[in-house]
Structure 1
Amino acid sequence: MHYKIAVTKPESHFLNITWTIPGIDQDVIEIQLPAWRPGRYEIQNFAKNIQFIEASSKEGKKLIIEKITKDRWRIDTQGETVVQVTYNYFAAIQNAGSSYVDEELWYLNFINFCMYPEGRIDDPFTIDLELPGPWHIACGLSKQGNRLSAQNFYQLVDSPLLASATIQHNAYEVRGVKFHIWMHGNLKPNWKRIERDFRRFSREQIATMGEFPEDEYHFLNLILPTAFYHGVEHHNSTMVVLGPDDEGEGLYTDLLGVSSHELFHAWNIIRIRPEELLPYDFTKENYFQTCFVAEGCTTYYGDLFLKRAGVFDEKAYIKELQVYMKRHFENSAEASQSLIESSFDLWLDGYERGIPNRKVSVYHKGALAALILDLYLRRKSNHRQSLDKVMQLLWERFGKPFVGYSLQDYMNIVEEVAGEPVGWYWDECIMGNEPLENRLNEVLSFVGLQMTIFSNGNVQLNVHEDFKAQLQRSIWLSTTQQLTPSEEEE
């Protein structure tokens, strides 16, 4: 199947799309536009951005096309073996899951506007981009000139694209994997610093997990003049939107934090995926209970990898821990829902503030639950076991063979690594709504830290004087601290 995408009037922000469907042997076919996108577990109704749609034969004969749900159409093929679907899409939003076009930039998330015929989601797809000039294309798909190729619809819609004449690019290699960094916006990147820090956290993550799932990876960055912070994981890339473009330390810290977080998703959710999401059903909600693993563990590891890789120092890492703690205790310390329940309810209102004291953040409380488990395992084994081992076993048993895991699978692996039942952890931290303050301070004491929660919701982490040396040694150890000089310069 083939898509042709053009933008005849960039100021209008409309994509003009021609989709050719060959090999038809039915009198009626149904075509489906996704109702949601991976990485954002809520119904998004992309069809509201389609202004018109029509179907025709290869020779241009009009065919009857009827809308049968909010994002599904039925076409009477009238015996035609090839059908063309022509429509447009309003691409005028700049966040990490949207699409946007103007005179200088094409930013495309194919999940927003590409469709598949019922029963043919595994067919290969090609896309021709009618770009206005010799623009650079940043995308994880296979590319020849302005033509992109995807093995199936799942790969197509999990591969965002930036195209522009002014996009900036750099690359580095770690353990045979080539990493690309793409930047679009009004800034002059300090590529030497960026490459050094990105190389460090990439190497730390690969060393921890043992291997990288892909041969190549793309960091796609759209830098805006206004304040913004958003990232979305994809199968061999991430789309990040940040701002403002003042090139200050705040922007750079945000870039490091979101990039490390999204890179760990290359294992955790892209491949280590809950069984309820394998495969994705783009027509409806895909309810699952383990987003505290998918997002909570990833949020925890994103900053921890920066510290273990030497990108963040101790002070910077503790500051980030305080942020997670403050957001949890300020917003949802008294929430009635557990992490299990709030994972399931992402599809209901997980990305909205919601009513008071109902839900918790799978990101913030999920990260604190991951911290508790990690430090518990480390204290029990004097760092010989940790959450690292849990993630490694998830990768080996579920991610690498690409079979979905269940909540029970996760619980079994945790208790295997712990060497004992940890019913207190499931009851208090995951399946219950108990306050986490006592459990946090219990495990934080192992690394010389103590958390204080003030009445205004602020959180402070203090270092015990007697534990400063221990803290310096153990936050939280580095997988790559024993690198040889050749590996350090890789």
Structure 2
Amino acid sequence: MLYHISVPDPQSRFLDIIYTIPEINSEQIEIQLPAWRPGRYELQNFAKNIQFIEAISAAGHKLPLHKVTKDRWRVGTAGQNEVRIHYTYYASIQNAGSSYVDEELWYLNFVNFCMYTEGRITEAYHVELDLPDGYQIACGLPSAGKNALSARDFYQLVDSPMLASATLQQCEYAVRGIWFKIWMHGNLKPNWRRIERDFRRFSREQIAMMEEFPEKDYHFLNLILPNAFYHGVEHQNSTMIVLGPDDEGEGLYSDLLGISSHELFHTWNIIRIRPAELLPYDFTKENYFRTCFVAEGCTTYYGDLFLRRAGVFNDETYVKELQVYMKRHFESSAHAAQSLAESSFDLWLDGYEKGIPNRKVSVYHKGALVALILDLYLRKKTNHAQSLDDVMRLLWTRFGKPFIGYTLEDYIGIAEEVAGESLEWYWEECIFSATPLEDRLNEVLAFVGLQMSVFSNGNVQLNVLDDFKAQVQREKWLETVQVLTIEEEELEGEEEE
């Protein structure tokens, strides 16, 4: 399968695409454009951006092409063993799940506009790009020659976004033999020494906790805009991040750290530790699942926790970040009628919209808070011998590494196995009902010397208590997992100078 992509007029924002389908042995085929994209569980209607489409033979003759659903077409092959689908796609949006082209940048999310042939989704897919001279490609896919990329199947292709420009900036670093590349496009002058140091630290901390990394390399793709923006999407061995404004202030850098740590942990949690309902992805319709509070909630919790454990954040900064998602939960959905499991299922309905008052909860914010409750409960019960770390590692070794998909019942079983007891109270209060979280949160926060106050307007104040015993427990909770090699210790010393 081959895609040829060109941009004849960058100002028009249109991609010109030829999708070549070889080795056809049937009288008709059906081609499908994804109805949604991994990382955002709602129907996307990408087909609305297709301006023109036709099917032609290898000799250039038009073939019958009929639309059978909003994003699926049937092609009469007329005995041809090769068919080319020629179409144009409007690429004009800059967020972490879109596509955009202009005179100096190609930003492509292949899931937006690449189709697959029914019954052949697991075949290899190749991409040829008519890039301007001097452009450099940033992408998790392997190179297949100059301006060409290859994917082992359609799933890998559409989970590998791409930046290409003559003005890309980059740095790279290695952790435990894994190569990481950080790519930047935008009007800024990155402090690469600082970025490389902090990224290496939280990457190392994550790998130390999970004990291995699922990929041999990883790419942080960053598009920095002049306007305020914050959006990231996880992929197989990369993440696409869009941030702004490009004032190079501490706010932008803090956002970069937080979202990058979050997205990197997704390499385990959802990319490989995947709900069974999403394995494999069905790109034709909704893929309902009730465990997005694990996929996004645990990842949100760990994103900032890894920054503190790695020494990128100090205690004060970490406590402020905890307070942020406490505030977001209690301000917007403290009195919501839905449970976390129900809101996970309903992501496909209105999960990314504000919605009506007091209906749903955020799988990110409430999900992070219930992950915090479970982690600190396990630590208190076992004097830190067991924690949410153990739950995530067991999910990885039993379901993520063999890539077989886990169920809600599997998650419940592993958490109770680590706890050594039934956690019925936790599932009933935190996951399957709309029970308020204040009491349970303060119960576990007291163990580590923190106290949360929620005011009538939803504002939250998180205070650090003056309690030596609790301070010791807090240090154990936040202590690093990693053990540095001699070479890493020397490198750290050089960077601190």
TM-score, reference length from structure 1? 0.99
In structure 1, what is the Cα distance between the partners aligned to 2:32 and 2:358? 38
Q: What is the CA-CA distance between 1:484 and the residue it aligns to?
A: 3.9
Written as runs of structure 1 = structure 2, the 5 A alignment for 1:371-410 is 371-410=372-411
Describe the superposition over 1:65-112 as per-residue Cα deviations: whole angstroms up to 9, x where unpaired: 011100000000000000011000000000000000000000000000
In structure 2, what is the Cα distance between the partners aligned to 1:255 and 1:489? 26
Written as runs of structure 1 = structure 2, the 5 A alignment for 1:212-223 is 212-223=213-224
The 3-state SS of whatever aligns with 2:287 is coil
In structure 1, what is the Cα distance between the partners aligned to 2:477 and 2:14? 49
Tell me the residue number matched to 1:317.
Answer: 318
Tell me the residue number matched to 2:91.
Answer: 91
1:32 aligns with 2:48: no
Give the conservation status (yes or no) of the 8 Å contact 1:170–1:182.
yes
- Give 2:476's aligned amino acid: S
Tell me the residue number matched to 2:44.
Answer: 44
The 3-state SS of whatever aligns with 1:488 is helix
Q: What is the CA-CA distance between 1:489 and the residue it aligns to?
A: 4.6
The 3-state SS of whatever aligns with 1:84 is strand
Tell me the residue number matched to 1:234.
Answer: 235
In structure 2, what is the Cα distance between the partners aligned to 1:84 and 1:357? 50
Q: What is the CA-CA distance between 1:472 and the residue it aligns to?
A: 5.6
Tell me the residue number matched to 2:463.
Answer: 462
- Give 1:47's aligned amino acid: A
In structure 2, what is the Cα distance between the partners aligned to 1:487 and 1:381? 32
The 3-state SS of whatever aligns with 2:324 is helix
Q: What is the CA-CA distance between 1:132 and the residue it aligns to?
A: 1.3
Tell me the residue number matched to 2:301.
Answer: 300
Q: What is the CA-CA distance between 1:475 and the residue it aligns to?
A: 4.2
The 3-state SS of whatever aligns with 1:78 is coil
Describe the superposition over 1:298-357 as per-residue Cα deviations: whole angstroms up to 9, x where unpaired: 000000000000000001000000011000011001101000000000000000010011
The 3-state SS of whatever aligns with 2:240 is strand
The 3-state SS of whatever aligns with 2:241 is strand
Written as runs of structure 1 = structure 2, the 5 A alignment for 1:134-173 is 134-143=134-143, 144-173=145-174
Give the conservation status (yes or no) of the 8 Å contact 1:441–1:451.
yes
Taking only aligned residues, the RMSD between alpha carbons, in angstroms, comes to 0.9
- Give 2:206's aligned amino acid: Q
Describe the superposition over 1:169-228 as per-residue Cα deviations: whole angstroms up to 9, x where unpaired: 100000000000000000000000000000000000000000000000000000000000
Tell me the residue number matched to 1:189.
Answer: 190
Q: What is the CA-CA distance between 1:487 and the residue it aligns to?
A: 3.2
1:11 aligns with 2:11: yes
Give the conservation status (yes or no) of the 8 Å contact 1:314–1:475.
no
Tell me the residue number matched to 1:117.
Answer: 117
Q: What is the CA-CA distance between 1:485 and the residue it aligns to?
A: 3.3
Describe the superposition over 1:435-483 as per-residue Cα deviations: whole angstroms up to 9, x where unpaired: 0000000000000000011122111111111247426623422102x42
- Give 1:477's aligned amino acid: E
Tell me the residue number matched to 1:70.
Answer: 70
Tell me the residue number matched to 1:347.
Answer: 348
- Give 1:36's aligned amino acid: W
Tell me the residue number matched to 1:416.
Answer: 417
Give the conservation status (yes or no) of the 8 Å contact 1:307–1:475.
no
Give the conservation status (yes or no) of the 8 Å contact 1:55–1:84.
yes
Tell me the residue number matched to 1:105.
Answer: 105
Pick which of 129-138 and 253-262 moved more.
Answer: 129-138
The 3-state SS of whatever aligns with 2:51 is coil
Q: What is the CA-CA distance between 1:54 and the residue it aligns to?
A: 0.2
**Percentage identity across paired residues of the two chains:** 73
The 3-state SS of whatever aligns with 2:353 is coil
Describe the superposition over 1:120-177 as per-residue Cα deviations: whole angstroms up to 9, x where unpaired: 0001011000001121100000112201000000000000000000000100000000
The 3-state SS of whatever aligns with 2:260 is helix
Tell me the residue number matched to 1:203.
Answer: 204
Give the conservation status (yes or no) of the 8 Å contact 1:314–1:472.
no
The 3-state SS of whatever aligns with 1:51 is strand
Which of 464, 477, 480 matches 2:479?
A: 477
Give the conservation status (yes or no) of the 8 Å contact 1:106–1:162.
yes
In structure 2, what is the Cα distance between the partners aligned to 1:66 and 1:104? 36
Tell me the residue number matched to 2:284.
Answer: 283
- Give 2:62's aligned amino acid: K
In structure 2, what is the Cα distance between the partners aligned to 1:287 and 1:476? 35
**Alignment gaps of 5+ in structure 1:** none
Tell me the residue number matched to 1:427.
Answer: 428
Tell me the residue number matched to 2:81.
Answer: 81
- Give 2:138's aligned amino acid: A
Give the conservation status (yes or no) of the 8 Å contact 1:337–1:360.
yes
- Give 1:414's aligned amino acid: A
In structure 1, what is the Cα distance between the partners aligned to 2:113 and 2:475? 50
In structure 2, what is the Cα distance between the partners aligned to 1:68 and 1:397? 40
- Give 1:209's aligned amino acid: M
- Give 1:221's aligned amino acid: N
In structure 1, what is the Cα distance between the partners aligned to 2:466 and 2:38? 45
Tell me the residue number matched to 1:364.
Answer: 365
In structure 1, what is the Cα distance between the partners aligned to 2:39 and 2:489? 33
Give the conservation status (yes or no) of the 8 Å contact 1:338–1:360.
yes
Give the conservation status (yes or no) of the 8 Å contact 2:168–2:185.
yes
Say how many residue pairs are matched: 489
Tell me the residue number matched to 1:177.
Answer: 178
In structure 2, what is the Cα distance between the partners aligned to 1:472 and 1:332? 28
Give the conservation status (yes or no) of the 8 Å contact 2:275–2:406.
yes
- Give 2:178's aligned amino acid: V
Give the conservation status (yes or no) of the 8 Å contact 1:224–1:245.
yes
- Give 1:124's aligned amino acid: A
Give the conservation status (yes or no) of the 8 Å contact 1:307–1:314.
yes
The 3-state SS of whatever aligns with 1:171 is strand
Tell me the residue number matched to 2:252.
Answer: 251
TM-score, reference length from structure 2? 0.97
Give the conservation status (yes or no) of the 8 Å contact 2:449–2:474.
no
The 3-state SS of whatever aligns with 1:86 is strand
Give the conservation status (yes or no) of the 8 Å contact 2:326–2:369.
yes
